[in-house]
């Protein structure tokens, strides 16, 4: 395989480990834990893994560990640093006992069920250290939820002598990890299951999981691109750029990129919901900013749009919820309807309010809302072209204002969607270190007999030396939510908090950004050079941790 000069140099990077993980470790147990909500239901569903204590690793005495084999699965969307989680896990497992083996299941959780695996040897691991992507074993979105799948998985785990499986995934995949851990514990199969917090979306976080891996690199990559667009925008001075950013539900990516690049407008879905804004309110907000800039002779600007916006507009949210429940049961019937009659069919099946909202949507968006759900029952928001919907509606409003003599500017829009551009970027130093530490911590959780835990590395704005490694019971993060028309235990998604420091910092300056051209151009991620350029983490984390 031909490698770039950067890839070759980067392969030699040795990720930093927290001090406590550098030698032998021992477990320090904290208080028993509770789920974030719906305690009684969660406790009943997870009798073997509920309420376990928080765990912290501290320096301990060397001891011998019996040989063991471990399996690893990459689940869901790619996030920078996944290969370092696996290399940290590999190094940890080999340090415990050089005879230990690590197996990777191919193309996500489906690999466990279908018995597709490969042994990850030192040669393979060395090819992937500090690289982006999940291509070492591939990823997939198969949902592990049925007993038959757990049993099929157990067959291969038994055959390979695997004592523990590490599932590297987001909130849904870690929910599955917890259900699997509970099932194997209840059956006394002697297989442990450990999760690792992955997702560029940044919505798998809480007190013990300060950030999910990949968020740092993905946001830096998008911010580089946004900065480049802003500079182009400020050079040509003739376009409004509408930039949609991935992130499924939460607006963490959009907010972080806004803090890094200071665009004219950044929409925050959580705020749109809290203020009960309609689609027209959002459009009017943008159009007002466009008109105010035009009045100063500035017919250009940048707008950041979070991927999940549509689902947070209250009327749209109600509509999507009804569509989700309806399509969970009638998907086949719907698919059999002729395409030109599908819109009418949906309108006839919805409640009056939702039917009216659905009927008011442009054809393309209406159709996109009924497309296939992902295996977890979510609307595939990345397929909805919100950036085009908004610019089209802003254009129409401005034309109406022009006719009324309220606006005299020119409005010409360009559209972008950044998601895939950042998911497999080479991990920043932060993600390279964080991921390696998460993987290494997972090996220590396994060695200490833990199951149903998520690997946790905290104190992340301090130097890596001072990071705190340990484990959090996954049940602690759970609550009950409606999925596919049924109440299910799931990890609670962390949305942008409107009372949190990152949002407040943004809200304090956004009116100035809207009016002036206050762009910041972050430039590309740097891997070599001064620490203030190379090792900075996200503004979100820095603001959240400033006491």
Do 235 and 228 form a contact (C-beta atoms < 8 A)? no
Q: Which is nearer to ligand FBP, 222 or 242 (CB)?
A: 222
What is the smallest separation between the CB atom of 331 and ligand FBP, expressed in angstroms?
18
Q: Which residues bind ligand FBP (CB under 6 A)?
A: 76-77, 79, 170, 199-201, 246-248, 307, 380-382, 419, 423
Q: What's the rounded Cα separation, in Å, for the pair 141 and 157? A: 20
What is the smallest separation between the CB atom of 195 and ligand FBP, expressed in angstroms?
13
CB atoms within 10 A of CB 392: 18
Q: What's the rounded Cα separation, in Å, for the pair 299 and 237? A: 6
- CA gyration radius, the chain: 24
Q: What's the rounded Cα separation, in Å, for the pair 203 and 215? A: 9
Q: What's the rounded Cα separation, in Å, for the pair 427 and 132? A: 6
Reported as type and span, the H/E element at residue 73 is: strand 69-74
Q: Which is nearer to ligand FBP, 308 or 471 (CB)?
A: 308
The token duo for 69 is 């084999």
Spatial CB neighbours of 238, under 8 Å, sequence gap ≥ 6: 299, 300, 410, 412
What is the smallest separation between the CB atom of 306 and ligand FBP, expressed in angstroms?
10
What is the smallest separation between the CB atom of 248 and ligand FBP, expressed in angstroms?
4
Q: Backbone phi, then psi, for 217, in 5-degree steps?
A: -65, -45
What is the smallest separation between the CB atom of 244 and ligand FBP, expressed in angstroms?
11
What is the smallest separation between the CB atom of 123 and ligand FBP, expressed in angstroms?
29
Q: Which is nearer to ligand FBP, 200 or 289 (CB)?
A: 200
Nearest one of 461, 543, 546, 547 to 258, comparing CA atoms = 543
Q: Which is nearer to ligand FBP, 129 or 493 (CB)?
A: 493
Nearest one of 429, 426, 456 to 442, comparing CA atoms = 456
Active site amino acids: 201
Q: Which is nearer to ligand FBP, 165 or 289 (CB)?
A: 165
Q: Which is nearer to ligand FBP, 331 or 356 (CB)?
A: 331
| Alpha helices per DSSP H over 187-313 | 215-236, 252-261, 269-274, 279-295, 309-312
CA angle 524, 530, 531 (to 5 degrees): 90
Q: How many residues does the chain have?
A: 547
Q: What's the rounded Cα separation, in Å, for the pair 207 and 458? A: 9
């Amino acid at each position: 395989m031909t490698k770039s000069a950067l890839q070759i140099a980067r392969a030699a990077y040795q990720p930093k480990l927290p001090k406590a993980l550098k030698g032998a470790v021992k477990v320090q147990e904290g208080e028993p834990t509770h789920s974030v909500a719906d305690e009684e239901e969660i406790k009943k569903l997870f009798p073997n893994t509920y309420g376990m204590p928080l765990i912290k690793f501290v320096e301990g005495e060397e001891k011998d560990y019996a040989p063991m084999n471990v399996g690893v699965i990459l689940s869901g969307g790619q996030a920078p640093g996944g290969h370092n989680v696996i290399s940290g896990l590999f190094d940890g497992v080999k340090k415990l006992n050089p005879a230990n083996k690590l197996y990777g299941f191919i193309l996500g959780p489906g690999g466990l069920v279908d018995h597709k695996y490969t042994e990850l040897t030192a040669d393979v691991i060395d090819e992937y250290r500090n690289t982006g992507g999940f291509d070492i074993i591939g990823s997939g979105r198969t949902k592990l939820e049925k007993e038959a799948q757990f049993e099929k998985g157990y067959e291969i785990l038994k055959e390979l002598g695997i004592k523990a499986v590490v599932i590297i995934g987001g909130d849904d995949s870690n929910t599955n990890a917890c259900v699997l851990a509970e099932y194997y514990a209840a059956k006394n199969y002697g297989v442990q299951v450990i999760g690792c917090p992955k997702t560029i979306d940044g919505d798998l976080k809480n007190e013990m999981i300060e950030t999910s891996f990949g968020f740092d690199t993905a946001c830096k990559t998008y911010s580089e691109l946004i900065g480049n667009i802003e500079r182009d925008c400020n050079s040509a001075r003739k376009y409004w750029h509408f930039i949609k950013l991935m992130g499924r539900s939460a607006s963490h990516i959009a907010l972080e990129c806004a803090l890094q690049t200071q665009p004219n407008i950044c929409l925050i879905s959580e705020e749109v919901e809290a203020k009960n804004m309609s689609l027209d309110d959002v459009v009017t907000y943008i159009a007002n900013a466009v008109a105010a800039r035009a009045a100063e002779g500035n017919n250009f600007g940048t707008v950041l749009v979070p991927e999940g916006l549509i689902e947070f507009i209250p009327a749209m949210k109600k509509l999507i919820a009804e569509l989700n429940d309806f399509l969970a049961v009638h998907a086949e019937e719907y698919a059999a309807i002729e395409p030109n009659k599908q819109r009418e069919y949906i309108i006839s099946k919805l409640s009056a309010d939702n039917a009216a909202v659905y009927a008011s949507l442009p054809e393309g968006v209406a159709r996109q809302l009924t497309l296939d759900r992902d295996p977890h029952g979510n609307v595939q928001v990345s397929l909805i072209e919100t950036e085009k919907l908004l610019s089209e509606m802003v254009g129409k409003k401005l034309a109406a204002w022009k006719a009324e003599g309220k606006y005299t500017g020119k409005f010409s829009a360009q559209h972008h969607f950044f998601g895939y551009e950042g998911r497999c970027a080479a991990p920043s130093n932060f993600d390279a270190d964080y991921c390696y530490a998460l993987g290494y911590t997972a090996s220590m959780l396994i060695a200490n007999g833990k199951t149903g835990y998520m690997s946790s590395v905290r104190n992340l704005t301090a130097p890596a030396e001072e990071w705190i490694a340990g484990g959090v019971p996954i049940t602690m993060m759970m609550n009950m939510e409606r999925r596919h028309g049924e109440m299910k235990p799931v990890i609670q998604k962390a949305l942008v908090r409107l009372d949190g420091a990152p949002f407040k910092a943004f809200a304090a300056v956004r009116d100035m950004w809207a009016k002036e051209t206050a762009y910041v151009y972050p430039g590309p991620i740097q891997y070599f050079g001064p620490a203030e350029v190379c090792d900075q983490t996200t503004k979100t984390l820095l603001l959240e941790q400033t006491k």
